[in-house]
């Protein structure tokens, strides 16, 4: 069983899940409005090759939730200080979605501490190239779930998770919320903090970072176009262009496309994801 614990770093209290294991350090970073438990189905499949930890980033899960500090400079400084506290000199970083952008930025800022990067459907997000801030602000604002009855949330999660839904993935996703005594929920990530992360993502330019990455990089994008939804086709084409640009500029890279799966691939296809990570990262 993993050990859940807290560490003090950069003036905040961070929640970690320590999966133990053997081998080099591997640090799992979740995406926006998620938390460390999204790796619950993947981490046990990695511990035969790596020493694995997952963390709740600033504002998420059980970690402290200050009102500021959701820019990439602050978030990557959090990560640096956590590694210092844990006495991890060098690690492979695995980032999902926004967590991939965090991992990429950290690898550029602290190259001596990153043995390799695994970017899981993230790290190549460049939202600001596609649309202006008012459009992004409107499209990526979170739904207002504060005070929603938990039974209604459970019903919504089944629709939201789609093919990734199972009793296990529902339980994992419920860790995104405080389950209150009155039978309602409150998202751990407040709307204000959520939008600060969105703004930072909108401003982030991964394409300007690739040439500065010194470590090997494994990109694991997902592909699940909906034949009835033109928007998903547009998003997939944007993703393919971003991946092609990354492959052009990264010095050492490999791409493994996971077909017919959803963005939350750690929940939908954990075994395939873990196998892809081990196949490549264990050689670094």
Distance CA 94, CA 27 (A): 6
Based on the fold, state whether residues 25 and 68 are members of the same structural domain.
yes
Based on the fold, state whether residues 151 and 219 are members of the same structural domain.
no
> Which pLDDT does position 197 carry in this prediction?
98
* pTM for the whole structure: 0.97
Based on the fold, state whether residues 150 and 104 are members of the same structural domain.
no
**First-to-last CA distance in the chain?**
27
> Which pLDDT does position 41 carry in this prediction?
98
Based on the fold, state whether residues 14 and 83 are members of the same structural domain.
yes
Domain housing 30:
3-130+191-281
Based on the fold, state whether residues 33 and 119 are members of the same structural domain.
yes
Based on the fold, state whether residues 168 and 197 are members of the same structural domain.
no
Distance CA 180, CA 142 (A): 20
- Domain count within the chain: 2
Based on the fold, state whether residues 69 and 196 are members of the same structural domain.
yes
How many Cα atoms are found within 13 Å in the side-chain-facing hemisphere of 150? 15
Task: Flag whether 136 is in a domain.
Answer: no
Task: Flag whether 135 is in a domain.
Answer: no
Is 13 in contact with 33 (CB distance < 8 Å)?
no
Residue 142's pLDDT band, with cuts at 50, 70 and 90, is very high
Based on the fold, state whether residues 154 and 275 are members of the same structural domain.
no
Distance CA 130, CA 205 (A): 12
Q: Give pLDDT tens digits for 1-21.
A: 899 999 999 999 999 999 999
Q: Hunting for tokens 């929920």 — which residue is that?
A: 185
Q: Residue 28: CB partners within 8 Å, gap ≥ 6?
A: 36, 39, 42, 43, 52, 53, 54, 55, 94, 96
> For all residues of the chain together, what is the average pLDDT?
96
Side by side, which strands form the sheet with 24-29?
3-9, 12-21, 50-55, 24-29, 91-96, 114-120, 217-220, 253-255
Q: Is the pLDDT of residue 228 over 90?
A: no
């Amino acid at each position: 069983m993993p050990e859940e614990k807290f560490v003090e770093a950069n003036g905040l209290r961070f929640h970690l899940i320590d999966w133990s294991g053997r081998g080099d350090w591997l640090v799992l970073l979740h995406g926006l409005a998620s938390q460390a438990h999204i790796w619950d189905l993947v981490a046990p499949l990695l511990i035969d090759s790596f020493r694995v930890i997952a963390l709740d980033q600033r504002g998420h899960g059980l970690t402290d939730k200050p009102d500021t500090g959701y820019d990439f400079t602050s978030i990557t400084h959090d990560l640096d200080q956590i590694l210092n506290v844990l006495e991890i000199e060098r690690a492979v970083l695995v980032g999902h979605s926004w967590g991939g952008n965090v991992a990429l930025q950290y690898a550029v800022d602290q190259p001596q501490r990153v043995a390799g990067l695994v970017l899981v459907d993230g790290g190549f997000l460049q939202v600001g190239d596609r649309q202006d801030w008012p459009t992004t602000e409107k499209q990526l604002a979170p739904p207002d779930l504060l005070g929603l009855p938990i039974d209604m949330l459970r019903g919504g999660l089944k629709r939201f998770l789609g093919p990734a839904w199972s009793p296990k993935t529902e339980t994992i996703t419920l860790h995104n919320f405080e389950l209150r005594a009155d039978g309602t929920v409150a998202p751990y990530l407040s709307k204000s903090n959520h939008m600060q992360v969105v703004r930072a993502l909108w401003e982030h330019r991964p394409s300007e970072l690739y040439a500065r990455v010194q470590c090997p990089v494994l990109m694991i994008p997902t592909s699940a176009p909906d034949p009835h939804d033109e928007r998903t086709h547009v998003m997939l084409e944007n993703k393919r262009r971003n991946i092609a640009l990354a492959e052009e500029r990264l010095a050492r890279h490999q791409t493994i496309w996971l077909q017919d799966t959803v963005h939350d691939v750690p929940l939908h296809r954990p075994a395939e994801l873990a196998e892809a990570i081990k196949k490549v990262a264990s050689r670094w």
